[in-house]
Amino acid sequence: MNEKKDSQLTSIAVDTGVLVEFLEDSILGKKFSQKVLENPQVKIFYISPLVDMELKYIFCRRSGFQNAIKYASEFLKDFIIYSESELRDEASHLKCKFPISIADCYSLAIGKIRNIPVYMKKEEEIDKVLEELLSVVKIIYIDNLV
């Protein structure tokens, strides 16, 4: 099997909203854990540096900066944080084409560059352009996991 095809079968990108749901132990987070994180076929989990930053500021507001840094760093130790410099041009291109957040553009850029699915929590701004986005990158809403 060629490396790129194998990567598609074993790698995913994960957006911030998904990780927040998981860390908050919500129903969606539990579903994501059961269907994706515990799936032995999925071996590589990519996030953008913006996901790392968003998790840290979300938890900073809840428990202070030092606790947030420690908590996020420990939690993300098994995730690959994709190089921002490698994502920048593709994220800019996505931001140019679609009225969505820069953070979402960075997560989607990983999916497009690696040709892997991006797991996201359903958001209105993504939903408005979903059909067009799906022609560029595979998006899987955790809200739709069965």
The predicted-structure confidence for 27-79, as pLDDT tens digits, reads as follows 999 999 999 999 999 999 999 999 999 999 999 999 999 999 999 999 999 99
Better pLDDT: 86 or 8: 86
How many CA within 13 A on the CB side of residue 111? 22
Separation between Cα atoms, residue 145 and residue 107, nearest integer Å? 19
Provide the domain limits for residue 128.
3-144
pLDDT, residue 2, reads: 37
pLDDT tier for residue 107 given thresholds of 50, 70 and 90: very high
pLDDT at 6: 45
Please report the pLDDT score of residue 7 as a whole number.
54
d(CA 68, CA 90): 29
Q: What pLDDT shows up at residue 100?
A: 97
pLDDT of residue 146: 78
Partnered with residue 80 across adjacent β-strands are 46
When divided into structural domains, the chain yields a total of: 1
pLDDT at 137: 97
pLDDT tens-digit map of 2-23: 344 445 569 999 999 999 999 9
